Amino acid sequence: MRVQLALNVKDLDEAVDFYSKLFDAKVNKRKPGYANFAIEEPPLKLVLFENPGADERLNHLGVEVFEDGEVAAATERLKNAGMADAVEDEQTCCYATQNKVWSVDPQGTRWEWYRVIEDSETFGGS
């Protein structure tokens, strides 16, 4: 498992260059308006959305897991706590097909608990 930090950036090329140097890491996936890093140390999935007009730099936070059972357990835990905002099974988002559950904290920050099933050539609708 690793924490995900998804940021809105003004200039994707500039951001990729900066974070590549900051974490001494190569970009994992690069598509138009989108890039992500799968950083081993510290365990972090850094996602960049080119969105120059965004009101906030933070897009959302998440936890990436590697087994569907972990998504199912998080979904059950969040539903039981009344915190599951949305459940998405086999949905394409961010150039990947994923299973996930969303929650929103009291201040409005969106969190996702997800597993990537496979890469996709399309961004998707989520």
Q: How wide is the angle at C-alpha 36 spanned by C-alphas 30 and 37, nearest 5°?
A: 120
Say if 1-51 and 62-126 have the same CATH topology: yes
Alpha carbon of residue 73 to chain centroid? 19
Q: Where are the domains of the chain?
A: 1-51, 62-126
Q: What is the pTM of this model?
A: 0.90
Q: Is the sign of the CA dihedral 8, 16, 23, 95 positive or negative?
A: positive
* Class (C level, CATH) for 62-126: alpha beta
| Sequential pLDDT tens for the chain (126 residues) | 999 999 999 999 999 999 999 999 999 999 999 999 999 999 999 999 999 999 999 999 999 999 999 999 999 999 999 999 999 999 999 999 999 999 999 889 999 999 999 999 999 975
The CATH code of domain 1-51 reads: 3.10.180.10
Q: Which two three-digit tokens encode residue 24?
A: 């001494």
Instruction: State both tokens at 35.
Output: 């890039």
| Alpha carbon 126 to chain centroid, angstroms | 11
